[in-house]
Amino acid sequence: MTLPNDAPPPGAATPNPVTPDHATADRATPDRATPGRATPGRATAPKILFDCDTGIDDAMMLLYLAAEVRAGNAELVGVGTVHGNVDARTGALNTLRVLELAKIDDVPVAVGAERPMAQDVHYALDWHGRNGLADLDLPEPAARPSAEPAAAQIVRLARENPGELTIVATGSLTNLGAALLLDDELPALVREVVVMGGAFDHPGNSTTHAEANIYHDPEAADLVFAADWPVVLVPLDATHPTAVGADWLARLAGHDSSIARFASQIMEWYADAYTPTLRRRGAVVHDALAAMLALTPELCEYVERPVRVELRGELTRGMTVWDARSLPAPDSRRPVRIAVGSDTAAFQDCLLSAVLSL
């Protein structure tokens, strides 16, 4: 759910972008196999833990990652679900359905937080359907969610893979916030956290100023941005320009595999929801961009600024705040790497080719 890609307000200051080479200097990108052409045994494949609220764009993200896993470009070590688009248990069942459709087996899927830390829970059923997947009549998954809570799974996997785990979070950040409270050593154990959320020079989509994933649990989000670990933030400023259009949807619909049919059905629902705000036929697949940047960071430009979340404002609660002045005030927080510009054509082509490779 989004608003149109409005221009920045008059007088808004945007920090000078960091070039992709500088922004990713500490994140060497391995030679990549083509999605769908498996390269078994790639020692450099990053270990990914997804934390999501599986609705439509999360499902497209999972299909993208499934193609990368099957190509040997990534290892999916676990998924946790959280309240957001739907409730956490429905999200877990949706995750299992999508992974089974993509023939990705033996990945633990843990149910996480059912409500935020300090406010009522909100869902996005108008945008994703009552079941989160366009109200399609889908069979029950063969597998069941694991008994381990999602926050505990984050801690366990980080301790089992110190310095190797990349967490991609595309829902409310309650599970990550809870994991930080469970283990104060967690930030030192995680390689990177990639978060889809926030808005800076773009309007919010839950309120005038707040993006949904941050707004759904502002306290947890602020814990994540305050922690001393590497965070990449993928806000609406980066995702909105990548909106797919009618031509892209038609190309997807032109293929007749079971996965392409599923993807086309859910994306057509999504486009129905998006068209009034985009003012053209299309949809923004926010979460897929975050997953893609975890594997291909050079698709975006970045700026680096500490990020805080407004927790008290009557009209601005959940707003992400950076100091964009040319001489920002001193801040004790570790800077967050914020995506501010995307290679739209490359993103759209990569997403489509990944889905069609399955």
- Annotated active-site positions, please? 53, 286
- Residue 169 near residue 150, CB atoms below 8 Å: no
Instruction: List, in sequence order, the alpha helices (H) in the chain.
Output: 20-23, 56-70, 88-101, 125-128, 150-160, 174-182, 186-189, 212-215, 218-226, 236-239, 246-253, 258-278, 286-295, 344-357
- Residue 346 near residue 353, CB atoms below 8 Å: no
Task: State the Cα–Cα distance between residues 57 and 283, nearest whole angstrom.
Answer: 9
- Residue 191 near residue 166, CB atoms below 8 Å: yes
DSSP class of 8: P
How do strand 320-321 and strand 244-245 relate by DSSP bridges?
unpaired
Task: State the Cα–Cα distance between residues 184 and 311, nearest whole angstrom.
Answer: 22
Instruction: List, in sequence order, the alpha helices (H) in 6-55.
Output: 20-23
Q: Which residues contact 332 (CB under 8 A, 6 or more apart)?
A: none
Question: How far is residue 176 CA from its own chain's centroid?
Answer: 13
Of the candidates 18, 84, 20, 60, the one whose C-alpha atom is nearest the C-alpha of residue 221 is 84
